[in-house]
A and B are shown apart, each in its own frame.
Chain A
Amino acid sequence: MEELANLMHGFSVALQPFNIGVMFLGIVLGVLIGVLPGLGGANGVAILLPLTFTMSPTSAIIMLSCIYWGALFGGAITSILFNIPGEPWSVATTFDGHPMAQKGKAGEALTAAFTSSFVGALFAIVMITLIAPLVAAFALKFGPAEQFSVYFLAFCSFVGMSKEPPFKTIAAMFIGFALAAVGLDSITGQLRLTFGTETLLTGFNFLIAVIGLFGIGEILLSIEEGLKFRGGKAGMNPKVVLQTWAELPRYWATSLRSCIIGCWMGISPAGATPASFMSYGIARRASKRGNNFGKGEIEGVVAPETAAHAAGTSALLPMLSLGVPGSPTAAVLLGGLLIWGLQPGPLLFVEQKEFVWGLIASMYISNVVGLIVVLTCVPLFAAILRIPFSIIAPVILVICAIGAYTVHNSTFDIVLMLVFGIIGYVMKKCDYPLAPMVLAIVLGDKAEENFRQSLLASQGSLDIFWSNGLVGSIMALGLIALFWPIFNVLWARMRPARAAT
């Protein structure tokens, strides 16, 4: 019960008028950062970090974490409206979010995304409040082999069932792996696939690929069907929020599952990106309407958004209690803690009670604040789609170019973005799935790194992936997910047989 008293004290700190003001400012800035591709949460927090030096550590972390929440919320906006994911974990949101917008249901999609984000974050905060020490101990169990098994599971649960021809899926995914491999090999410290050029040194950044493949590719596809975006007639009625809310409780099972996946991924710390893909993949299989996924199914927005937010929030726990950032943004926040003279680590919860509980309390409040801010803007966001194509298209092109440039401050990346855009257009027309390719670009090098670290530790023996209960069961889950379609077929064959008897 001591925790509860601490939390109450935390609320009294977080509810000070100055801190509430800071929260609003943080959320608004965060949404803006999330909307502009390239200015990711990590970037935004890093840029605004010096502003917080004059505040108390509690106010400062409240502001920075609010920017973080805001960016998480904001990432969904461009994904849904323009098929441009501003952050890696918003990619899965585009799969159903953008088709919904094309059908004129942008308002519903945005409401579902924001609300699910809120639910996911809330679940994670409650978990942090109640079982923080247990969770920290769980995070310590993850060595390279366990990490690899998590990535393996993410791939399997997402890729196992794809509607596109299997060899096209394989080709797309492995091209993603190849692109992820370009640059420095982190295990041997050696360059590979750069062919002696300096431009390839940094490898292919996910954001540039995704802005091109999804964003530019989408513009080219829309142009084919006349110079307009579909979904222009999107409703501007604020009632859409309430109507969508009435519908959402139906997906409680998906929601709960996604919360659990998200928290697990956030702690382990694999991060929000595998969480959103895994959650989407599993929801597609578990749902009765799974075949409609990808065509604008609201459940396909709920699943990835819930998981991404749950992961993003729970990633703060290993950062605070172990000093290991679960995401790039958390890494910058970590730097902030050190600068304010707070030492993240197991003792933070003991020595800096006021700060920790103030932060946790602010998470509750700021997520409510964030939800209110973004929901009131839903009609406004949806209305963006009404802007005529000949204006919005060049504006999107410019914003995409800025986004691609800011990743490495390199104009070459803008060229690359356009090339990816044309590739995305052609691949889409030829029925190659883009999602596995993107997943491979995001997670490919990390999965390979953990795989090879494991092999180094075991001196080449693959047994390490079955060496304890944790890694073994995750690997087994991955294999089940991969061969799920086969199980499904067998099940379907058995059932009529049984019915006959």
Chain B
Amino acid sequence: MSDDSHGAARSGPGQRSAELGVAVVMALFALLVIYGSIQAGIGWGAEGPKAGFFPFYVGIAILIASAVNFVRARGESSSELFADWGQLRQVLAVVVPTAVYVAVIPWIGLYVASLILIAFFMKRLGNYGWHQIAAIAIGLPLVAFVVFERWFLVPLPKGPIEAWLGF
């Protein structure tokens, strides 16, 4: 861990509020599970327990556990940090491009999207030259194409460019 950055200089969301947030989200999830289970039936029918019987109690268990976790998190000291803003910015620098990547796959296909993602990372984070970027960003999708589509006959999502090329 990066212990060299001093506690005083760091700022960011606190560990305590993160824990409280997680507990609340889990409790909401539990409520959703309980609601769905009641829809499916939580009683004991002709075939033994109904479909919602187990998920219902599972939901209750999550609810209780997150309540306990919530109370415990409240008792914690509030000085600890979840992560500082710099770290979070780093994390977002990966999450945001990946989210865009995932979002465009249905439209432009996995191959083209992967090409752009790899090129973006290599330029932004590694600052490589265009030759190296081109080699890897074009090479990997090509290898994936050969391995998956040709060799193992597993079709991957394709977009207009592949359709134009006749695949």
Query: A and B: direct contact (Cβ < 8 Å)?
Result: yes
Q: Is the CB of B55 within 8 A of A223?
A: no
Question: Which one of B94, B114, B122 contacts A219 once the chains associate, using CB atoms below 8 Å?
Answer: B94
Q: Is the CB of B59 within 8 A of A223?
A: no
Asked if B128 is an interface residue, CB under 8 A from chain A, the answer is yes
How distant is A402 from chain B, measured CB to nearest CB, in Å? 6
Contacting residues, chain A, for B148 (C-beta < 8 A): 39, 402, 406
- Interface size of B as a range: 35 or more
Interface-located stretch among A5-13, A332-340, A385-393: A385-393
Residue of A nearest to B105 (CB): A411
Q: Is the CB of A452 within 8 A of B65?
A: no
The answer for the CA separation of A459 and B128 in the assembled complex, in Å, is: 68
A199-240 with Cβ < 8 A to chain B: 216, 219-220, 223-227
Contacting residues, chain A, for B126 (C-beta < 8 A): 388-391
Asked if A168 is an interface residue, CB under 8 A from chain B, the answer is yes
How distant is B133 from chain A, measured CB to nearest CB, in Å? 9
Residue of A nearest to B53 (CB): A452
Asked if A455 is an interface residue, CB under 8 A from chain B, the answer is yes
Question: Which one of A188, A409, A426 contacts B22 once the chains associate, using CB atoms below 8 Å?
Answer: A426
Interface-located stretch among A110-118, A170-178, A468-476: A170-178
Flag B78-110 by CB within 8 Å of A: 1 or 0 each.
000011000100110111001101110110001
The answer for the CA separation of A188 and B58 in the assembled complex, in Å, is: 18
Q: Is the interface of B mostly helix, strand, loop or mixed?
A: helix
The answer for the CA separation of A227 and B106 in the assembled complex, in Å, is: 29
Contacting residues, chain A, for B140 (C-beta < 8 A): 395, 398
Flag A431-457 by CB within 8 Å of B: 1 or 0 each.
010000000000000001000100110
Q: Is the CB of B114 within 8 A of A167?
A: no
**Most A CB within 10 A of own CB, among B2, B29, B58:** B58
How distant is B51 from chain A, measured CB to nearest CB, in Å? 4
Question: Which one of B30, B58, B93 contacts A181 once the chains associate, using CB atoms below 8 Å?
Answer: B58
Q: Is the CB of B52 within 8 A of A192?
A: yes
Q: Is the CB of A167 within 8 A of B69?
A: yes
* A177-B58, A195-B36 known; A390+B22 contact, CB < 8 A: no
The answer for the CA separation of A427 and B69 in the assembled complex, in Å, is: 13
The answer for the CA separation of A384 and B48 in the assembled complex, in Å, is: 53
Contacting residues, chain B, for A414 (C-beta < 8 A): 102, 105
The answer for the CA separation of A33 and B148 in the assembled complex, in Å, is: 10
Flag A391-409 by CB within 8 Å of B: 1 or 0 each.
1011101100110011001
How distant is A80 from chain B, measured CB to nearest CB, in Å? 21
How distant is A82 from chain B, measured CB to nearest CB, in Å? 15
Contacts from B to A (Cβ < 8 Å): 1-2, 15, 18-19, 22, 26, 29-30, 33, 36-37, 39-40, 44-45, 47-52, 54-55, 58-59, 61-62, 65-66, 68-69, 72, 82-83, 87, 90-91, 93-95, 98-99, 101-103, 105-106, 110, 114, 117-118, 120-122, 124-126, 128, 136, 140-141, 144, 147-148, 152-157
- In the complex, 21 of the A-B residue pairs with CB atoms within 8 angstroms, ordered by the A residue number, are A43-B154, A167-B68, A168-B65, A168-B69, A174-B61, A185-B40, A185-B51, A190-B40, A191-B51, A192-B36, A193-B33, A224-B91, A226-B2, A391-B122, A394-B114, A394-B122, A398-B144, A401-B102, A426-B18, A427-B22, A452-B49
Give 4 nearest A-B pairs by CB, closest first.
A390-B126, A171-B65, A390-B125, A192-B40
If A397-B101, A405-B156, A456-B47 are given as contacts, then 18 extra A-B residue pairs at C-beta distance below 8 Å, sorted by A number, are A167-B65, A170-B61, A178-B29, A178-B55, A188-B45, A224-B90, A224-B91, A388-B126, A390-B125, A398-B110, A398-B140, A402-B148, A405-B105, A406-B148, A418-B98, A425-B91, A430-B15, A430-B82
